Amino acid sequence: MPERWDVVVIGAGPAGLTAAAVAGSHGLRCLCIDRLAPGGELINLGRLHDCPDLPPETTGADLAATLADAATAAGVELGFGEVSELQRGEDWRVVTGDESHLARAVIVATGLAPGSLGVADEERFEGLGLSHCASCDGPLYRGESVVVAGAGRWAIQDAIDLAGLAGHVALICPDEAAPHSDESTTKLAGLPNVTVTPGRIVGLEGAEGLEAVIVARGPARERQPARAVFVQSNRRAALGFAADVLAMDGVGRARVDDDLCTSDPRAYAAGDVRAGAPEQLASAIADGQRAGLAVARLLKGKEGAG
Ligand SMILES: Cc1cc2nc3c(=O)[nH]c(=O)nc-3n(C[C@H](O)[C@H](O)[C@H](O)COP(=O)(O)OP(=O)(O)OC[C@H]3O[C@@H](n4cnc5c(N)ncnc54)[C@H](O)[C@@H]3O)c2cc1C
């Protein structure tokens, strides 16, 4: 018989760990489950940007450990497993491989799936020049030419960070997406070994490892030599397991109301996975607090979740 929890939080990134800690601190029996070690995107991050409440030297790993400790201190059980299905019933059934867990309510906090280029041979180059983590793999390409694919805030930050290591960085922004614009864009423009070009990567070349990417600009094709490509483009909400039970917006993120309640009154969504998320740590943590509190109100009544 599957174990029955008050709440199962799916995803142990900053949003999920915070939601779980709040639910646990309100006396709810809470399981927080992840397909990887707790921390989510934090695990890949060195120095954190735009986190004014944290000491400047705080790393992603530091914050992941703090959030995981807070969750376990609140009595949350941290579980391991990839959720493949979310089934609606009298209780939710959260399915991971051959195991399942029952829950009175769920909080979905699965963030965004890694980006993709959508080109042939993409899998062949994984670990042979194609990476999703500039802070982990960037140092392997010291002095080399590298490419960052994407146009968002964190693609630009990757390009800035890589410029301190690589010989040359080409930021290739999809034709339809203007690069994100703020002070980081200005900083990027001032770096002598960075070029920013519109275009779409349509091919990867190399025998043993990556040697070049093929970039399309309209009908033209150009070969851009590169030993590595860091992919931040086409990141979609990791919600395949809930596609049949939760309403999504036009880009596949979970629709939520002001309390982060989804289309089902016993399911909440927090962090990057929910519609309109600004894709920032502070916001993911704030979402976790709101969703944890909303679940406590739902399951314990207003007086139990002050
Ligand atoms: C390169 C990069 C740099 C960034 N730098 C900063 C920064 O400096 N400052 C800042 O404010 N923000 C930064 N961000 C954004 C920030 O990391 C995210 O906004 C934040 O991590 C979102 O938290 P989350 O909990 O919603 O999702 P995530 O951190 O993505 O966590 C989601 C978790 O869900 C798990 N999961 C997914 N699917 C399943 C499943 N089916 N079953 C079980 N578990 C699952 C994942 O393994 C993951 O652990 C950066 C992002 C990137 C990509």
How confident is the model over 261-270, as pLDDT tens digits? 999 999 999 9
Q: Which pLDDT does position 178 carry in this prediction?
A: 65
Q: Which pLDDT does position 132 carry in this prediction?
A: 94
Q: What are phi and psi of 13, to 5 degrees?
A: -85, -170
Q: Which pLDDT does position 143 carry in this prediction?
A: 97
For range 209-213, the mean pLDDT: 97
- From atom 44 of ligand 1, which residue's Cα is the shortest distance away? 34
Q: What's the pLDDT tens digit per position in 110-139? A: 999 999 999 988 999 999 999 999 999 999
| 207 CA distance to ligand 1 middle (Å) | 33
| 291 CA distance to ligand 1 middle (Å) | 17
| 264 CA distance to ligand 1 middle (Å) | 24
Ligand 1 pocket residue status of 13, Cβ below 6 Å: yes
For range 187-203, the mean pLDDT: 91
Q: Which residues of 137-174 are buried (b: 16+ CB within 10 A; e: fewer)?
A: bbeebeebbbbbbbbbbbbbbbbbbbbebbebbbbbbb
Ligand 1 pocket residue status of 141, Cβ below 6 Å: no
Q: Which residues of 55-70 are buried (b: 16+ CB within 10 A; e: fewer)?
A: eeeeebeebbeebbeb
- From atom 20 of ligand 1, which residue's Cα is the shortest distance away? 281
Question: Lowest-confidence range among 182-191, 197-206, 214-223?
Answer: 182-191
Q: Which pLDDT does position 302 carry in this prediction?
A: 59
- From atom 41 of ligand 1, which residue's Cα is the shortest distance away? 83
The preferred substitution site among 281, 285, 287, 289 for testing ligand 1, maximizing ligand atoms within 8 Å of CB, is 281
Neighbours of 118 (CB within 10 A): 11
Ligand 1 pocket residue status of 160, Cβ below 6 Å: no
Closest atom of ligand 1 relative to the 51 alpha carbon: 11
Q: Which pLDDT does position 9 carry in this prediction?
A: 98
Closest atom of ligand 1 relative to the 83 alpha carbon: 42
Q: What's the pLDDT tens digit per position in 36-83? A: 999 999 999 988 988 888 888 999 999 999 999 999 999 999 999 999
- From atom 14 of ligand 1, which residue's Cα is the shortest distance away? 280
Q: Which pLDDT does position 90 carry in this prediction?
A: 96
Mean pLDDT of the chain: 94
Burial (CB count within 10 angstroms: exposed 0-12, middle 13-18, buried 19+), residue 186? exposed
Q: What's the pLDDT tens digit per position in 243-254? A: 999 999 999 999
Q: What's the pLDDT tens digit per position in 133-190? A: 999 999 999 999 999 999 888 999 999 999 999 999 999 998 666 666 777 778 888 8
Q: Which pLDDT does position 162 carry in this prediction?
A: 96
Q: Which pLDDT does position 176 carry in this prediction?
A: 63
Ligand 1 pocket residue status of 199, Cβ below 6 Å: no
pTM given for the model: 0.94
